[in-house]
Amino acid sequence: MIEKPLLLLSAASLLLLANAAPVSSNAFLLDEMAGQIAPQAQVIWDITNGAQDDDGNPVAAKVKPQDWIRMQKAGEAMTAALTRIKSASAIHVRRPDQQVMDEKTGSGGLTATKIQTYIDANPQGLRAMAGNFTEISRSISRAAAAHDIGKITEIANDLDQACETCHKAFWYPEAPK
C-alpha cells in the first residue's frame, strides 16, 4: 500500500515535470537577433539619443512617460531572447529556409555555413556573451523602471560594446581589427 504523502509527492512531481520547460532546445540567431534583440536595442538607442541636451548630457525630462515603459519592455524582450540563446542545447545561425547577408546577394561573401563554424568552435563562448548581454538588458529594464536616464545612457553604451564584441567574435572574426 502506498502511503498518502508519498502518493501526493509523486503526483506533485509529475505535475512539475509536465509543466517544466524542455531541456533540449534550438536557438536560431537570425530569429533572435533580427527579430528581437536588434529592434529592441534600437528602441533604447533612439530614446537615449533623443534625451540629450546640446552638450550630449542625458536629460530625464526629455523622456516621455511611454518611453520609460518602452525601454523597460525592450530590456525585458532582449533578456528573453538572450536567455533562449544562452540556455539552448544547440545554437544555429538560421533556420534552413532563411538566408543571411551575402547569401541573399550571391556575392560569395559571408554565409551561414561560415558563421556556423565560428559558433561551433566556441558555443560556450557565445553562451557566456549572451549571459553578459543578459545582465545588460536586465540593467536597462531596472534603470527604465527607476526612470534613471543617466544609467540607461551609460548602459546603452555597454549595449553597443556588447553587440560589437559578439559580432567580431562570431560574425566577422576574420575582419581586419
Residue 77 forms part of a structural domain: yes
Q: Write the CATH number for 75.
A: 1.20.120
The domain total for the chain is 1
- pTM tops 0.85: no
Residue 16 forms part of a structural domain: no
pLDDT digits (tens, 9 = 90+) for 35-46: 999 999 999 999
pLDDT digits (tens, 9 = 90+) for 56-105: 999 999 999 999 999 999 999 999 999 999 999 999 999 999 888 766 66
Residue 175 forms part of a structural domain: no
Residue 11 forms part of a structural domain: no
Residue 116 forms part of a structural domain: yes
The range of the structural domain enclosing residue 97 comes to 23-170
Residue 176 forms part of a structural domain: no
Cβ burial 71-99 (10 Å sphere, 16+ → b, else e): bbebbbbbbebbbbbbebeebbbbeeeee
Residue 17 forms part of a structural domain: no
